[in-house]
Structure 1
Amino acid sequence: MVAAELSDGGRKQMKSLGFHVLTGRWFTVFASLLIMAVAGATYMFGLYSNDVKTSLGYDQTTLNLLSFFKDLGGNVGVLSGLINEITPPLVVLSIGAAMNFFGYFMIWLAVTGRIDKPQIWQMCLYICIGANSQSFANTGALVTCVKNFPGSRGSVLGLLKGYVGLSGAIITQLYHAFYGDHNSKALILLIAWLPTAVLFLFLPTIRTLNTVRQPKELKVFCNLLYISLGLAGFLMALIIVQNKLSFSRIEYVVDGAVVLLLLFLPLAVVFREEFYIWKSKMQALSDSSQLKEVTSVVPPSTSSVELPQATPASTSLQEETSCLRNIFKPPNRGEDYTILQALFSIDMLILFAATTFGVGGTLTAIDNLGQIGNSLGYPSKSTTTFVSLVSIWNYLGRVVAGFASEFFLTKFKFPRPLMLTLVMLFSCVGHLLIAFGVPNSLYFTSVIIGFCFGAQWPLMFAIISEIFGLKTTPLCTILEPWRAQLDLTYST
């Protein structure tokens, strides 16, 4: 009987431990890592663009038009931000999953001839919708993680955006494992269903939770960084070997299994940290129960003093104001801005210009590496090497900028805007090497451009969160009751 009671108690504790892990902050990070690892379909256009071109009879001008709408959808995140303003991450991620599947599934139907040939404007709409789903994944998962770990925002952004940089290589290896190497049109179908499935699988786990900074928080992120470095190194070696040798289907399956193992390896780190947190909570609960038993024998004091009831502090905050009245009256930097206050601020204008010319310049070089290599006389096989170098160094730029900016800001008070300026100046070295056509310099150029392109994203996101706050207030007071109800429903 005693053994049965102990067994039941053990099962209850294990059940509570499992529930604690699935609903903890660190599991949210793990789920976000997987979402980001399959959220980079916009970087894979070059792998299936030839199928679109030949199947639908497009010329290069039409293909460039599709590429433009792909970039437009992938870089316009205002819509997802506005939706996130009044809804929980659950809604944002659900919309992103639906958009991803609809956009790329319609492209796959068109390319495989299962539907009548769409008009050009329809194909532009499909690829724009599919690419825009990436901004919903960023807003729902990445922004939520930043809110859950506000003291380590640089590390969070660098790590998650790093997985986005690796997503192209990850999806490519999974495509080889699922479909082999002879059905390139199936890559479009994989892009349609795989990110959608991952998003729907982790929908309940992406939530904004109470933030309690742990003393060894940065160490945990460093452990996750080491795992991601191992994944990047394996992918880099795999890409080089696959460019030299021909792989069989079994070898592709084994490679895909190793990639999946490295993707799920952070779960061990997450479980360890959540176990420590759960154990400390159980110990604190046990200690508080013993304290309650001791204090319950003490008679309560017979004296009572009636204190005046304090006026709620939120009374003044509930004063009805128009959402358009305070656009040009933003709060101090670092406090929460509304979307409109941020859009019409001088700081946002400067950041917009920096992103346009900084990220835009490096993105232009990346999109035209093939043409640049051909014009400078590089062999066609070298172009594949350039793309691989850009992909890996794009990842390294993201994680290095995220963790380094956090370190230098904490230790030396080195501001992130200055670091962003230095990264943009460093990217000019790559542009100058291209402009002057230095012999054999395109290898170094691809490294510099890839690193700078990746480094700008976590820095830009961290700067925006530092200037405009981790979350914005509602656009209008009429939306406040809805937002409050949703917060009570989905947050802890």
Structure 2
Amino acid sequence: MVGQSRKWMILIATTWIQAFTGTNFDFSSYSSTLKSVLGISQLQLNYLSVASDMGKAFGWCCGVSLMCLPLWVVLFMAAFLGVFGYGVQWLVIKQAITLPYFLVFVLCLVAGCSICWFNTVCFVLCIRNFPTNRALALSLTISFNGVSAALYTLIANAINPDDETLYLFLNALVPLLASGLALVPILRQPPLQLLSTDTTSWDSFVFFVLNVLAVFTGLYLLLFNSLSSKASRARILLGGALILLLLPLCLPGIVCGRSWACRTVHTPAFCLEGPSFSSFDPDDFDQLHKELIGNDRNNNSSSVNPFSETNKEGLFGMIMEKGRLTVLGEEHPARLLVRRLDFWLYYVAYFCGGTIGLVYSNNLGQIAQSLGYYSQISAIVTLYSSFSFFGRLLSAAPDFMREYVFTANCVYSVYKLASTSPAIVRLFACKLPLLNKLYFARTGWLAIAVVPTPIAFFLLAASGGEAALLTSTAMIGLSSGFIFAAAVSITSELFGPNSVSVNHNILITNIPIGSLLYGLLAALVYDSNVKSSNQENLLEEAMVCMGRDCYQQTFIWWGCISLLGLISSLLLFLRTRPAYYGYQRNRSRAQVS
């Protein structure tokens, strides 16, 4: 049971790492000052944000390093990449040293690599220590990456609310300190062990409690961050945030205490199983994969396909039927992946739905400045970060709902076979259709998550008011946060768990591409609307555009592009829905039998 408590310590350490290493989220907090010091245009500033996103293209380097080096060494390599990348930028923005634009671009690239390396280390920790509930572990830890901007705002305001250059200094130092705190649990990783049903159920219950605690943490940061403009209040609020982050440390003691009670007291009150929220997991395929695939393929020949009768003819019918996935979890090597229409629909949905939200966050500083809300940049960035956090937490909803519907179907099947209680059978027969309607394929959740993005962009294009800016920022943060967190699970389900590391890296190549193209569009529109020399001199030599025209055309274009992402995600859902429902149906049959 010591190993059980250690794995929870590792989970807590992983959340700390994620909470303090989302340093790309606070780019907008200092981008205007960086632009002023370097004396560059909006287009050149966009290239710096692209460089940070390009770091994700080098994530494979971390994977190779993990094959050759201990995990803690790779963790500190990521930390020192950040120290170098952000630390030298801080010296530049403080005007202690002067560097050409190209070297600043390289520094942004190095800083972006550090973020990707931290994420990879956290993914590996979750996968190694939570083989049964890895989807829940990933969604929980990834969500804390979204609160980084809010935490850094509190820390910066607690030190000096008027110094925007502090963000770069904190970006360099805080991840190194967080890595040091996480070192002891990482060095004491427990060996992999088989878990009993009771332990698995209890773990799922603990994840549910941790998600509730995470919601309280996000609400605390969202509601009270606006009160941190004074250093004294910021210090108090920062203390409260740190207490909330440290509160899960009680978990190892609770786990050990429960184990002792189960061994010595032997009462149901201590040994009661928590609700079973075991998530969809790649390990499920090791036990049921062959049977489910065989059942799916047999059922495909006998069951009625909702598209085969009504959509055999026409372009839409061809899109629905041609080469669509019929089973989940089938392995797709890279050469097969790029020939799948489902993959490209997924790629476009991510490219036009999630990545565009990330580019919006990179431009938040200039957007707020152009609309006359420069003094509220930190609050607006915190709003985006907090709702991105909530979106990431919501990505666990399909796992909880899947198990709820799955358990109900199993109970119904058992009672039906036993035929001992006709009243209960009739009750389930009435309720199951409703429960099955509540069940939703994860690709359907993806489509729902994209919906707020085009609405938000068109709202921004129609109104330049403060309410529209705040509402749209929250909607885009919620949408993109869900997409980023759900992507790993969707890739695993659609294209195979064993190929997910390669396939997901292929998928996220859209991030630097989108950052370049969307940012280029925004920068060209922005620079074209700089009308007078007065605007050019507002921030020393940097060109500054003021007014709604600076981004209005960009918002219209981004709204239309995100509509394309919505259409693509809907097509992906319609094409993959039979595979999801087939998996759920056959899984219930296999468990009952």
TM-score by length of 1: 0.71
Conservation of the 8 A alpha-carbon contact between 2:148 and 2:385: no
Which residue matches 2:358? 363
* Greater Cα offset, 256-265 or 231-240: 231-240
Distance 1:271 1:205 in 2: 15
1:457 is displaced (CA, Å) by 1.4
> Are positions 1:209 and 2:192 aligned together?
yes
Aligned with residue 264 of structure 1, among 226, 246, 249: 246
Distance 1:342 1:104 in 2: 39
Aligned with residue 398 of structure 2, among 370, 387, 405: 405
Q: 1:128 to 1:282 in 2, by over 3 A?
A: farther
Q: 1:84 to 1:171 in 2, by over 3 A?
A: same
> Are positions 1:461 and 2:456 aligned together?
no
1:440-492 Cα deviation digits (max 9, x unpaired)? 543332222111011111211111233455555999xxxxxxxxxxxxxxxxx
Which residue matches 1:231? 217
1:91-119 Cα deviation digits (max 9, x unpaired)? 4323312211221122123333444x222
Distance 1:374 1:473 in 2: 40
1:313-345 Cα deviation digits (max 9, x unpaired)? xxxxxxxxxxxxxxxxxxx8536766x568656
Q: What SS class does the counterpart of residue 215 from structure 1 fall into?
A: helix
1:120 is displaced (CA, Å) by 1.4
Conservation of the 8 A alpha-carbon contact between 1:74 and 1:133: no
Which residue matches 2:14? 32
1:39 is displaced (CA, Å) by 1.2
1:265 is displaced (CA, Å) by 0.7
Conservation of the 8 A alpha-carbon contact between 2:337 and 2:495: no
> Are positions 1:424 and 2:450 aligned together?
yes
Q: 1:99 to 1:341 in 2, by over 3 A?
A: farther
Letter in 1 for 2:126: C
* Greater Cα offset, 344-353 or 101-110: 344-353
Which residue matches 1:486? none
Which residue matches 2:176? 196
Q: 1:432 to 1:112 in 2, by over 3 A?
A: closer
1:243-268 Cα deviation digits (max 9, x unpaired)? xxx524x4332222222111111111
* Greater Cα offset, 363-372 or 129-138: 363-372
Conservation of the 8 A alpha-carbon contact between 2:329 and 2:494: yes
1:69 is displaced (CA, Å) by 0.9
* Greater Cα offset, 344-353 or 449-458: 344-353
Conservation of the 8 A alpha-carbon contact between 1:423 and 1:452: yes
1:215 is displaced (CA, Å) by 1.3
Aligned with residue 80 of structure 1, among 51, 59, 62: 62
Distance 1:216 1:138 in 2: 27
Letter in 1 for 2:400: F
1:235 is displaced (CA, Å) by 1.4
TM-score by length of 2: 0.60
Distance 1:406 1:360 in 2: 24
Conservation of the 8 A alpha-carbon contact between 1:147 and 1:470: no
Q: Considering only aligned residues, what root-mean-square deviation do their CA atoms show, in Å?
A: 3.4
Distance 2:500 2:394 in 1: 32
Conservation of the 8 A alpha-carbon contact between 2:146 and 2:385: yes
Letter in 2 for 1:70: S
Which residue matches 1:393? 387
1:371 is displaced (CA, Å) by 5.2
1:51-103 Cα deviation digits (max 9, x unpaired)? 32333443433322212212222575343344446655334323312211221
1:166 is displaced (CA, Å) by 0.5
> Are positions 1:253 and 2:235 aligned together?
yes
Which residue matches 2:156? 175
Which residue matches 2:26? 44
Distance 1:473 1:457 in 2: 15
1:29 is displaced (CA, Å) by 0.7
Conservation of the 8 A alpha-carbon contact between 1:42 and 1:74: no
1:145-192 Cα deviation digits (max 9, x unpaired)? 144334434432332122111111112212333x33244333322211
Conservation of the 8 A alpha-carbon contact between 1:84 and 1:92: yes
Letter in 2 for 1:61: L
Conservation of the 8 A alpha-carbon contact between 2:393 and 2:482: yes
Distance 1:44 1:150 in 2: 33
Q: What SS class does the counterpart of residue 118 from structure 1 fall into?
A: coil
Q: 1:131 to 1:433 in 2, by over 3 A?
A: same
* Greater Cα offset, 205-214 or 134-143: 205-214
Letter in 1 for 2:384: V
1:357-400 Cα deviation digits (max 9, x unpaired)? 1112222333344555677x665556655433322211111101
* Greater Cα offset, 275-284 or 86-95: 275-284
Which residue matches 1:317? none
Distance 1:42 1:406 in 2: 28
Conservation of the 8 A alpha-carbon contact between 2:26 and 2:167: no
Aligned with residue 78 of structure 2, among 87, 96, 103: 96
Q: 1:414 to 1:153 in 2, by over 3 A?
A: farther
Conservation of the 8 A alpha-carbon contact between 1:399 and 1:455: yes
Q: 1:21 to 1:114 in 2, by over 3 A?
A: farther
Conservation of the 8 A alpha-carbon contact between 1:104 and 1:188: yes
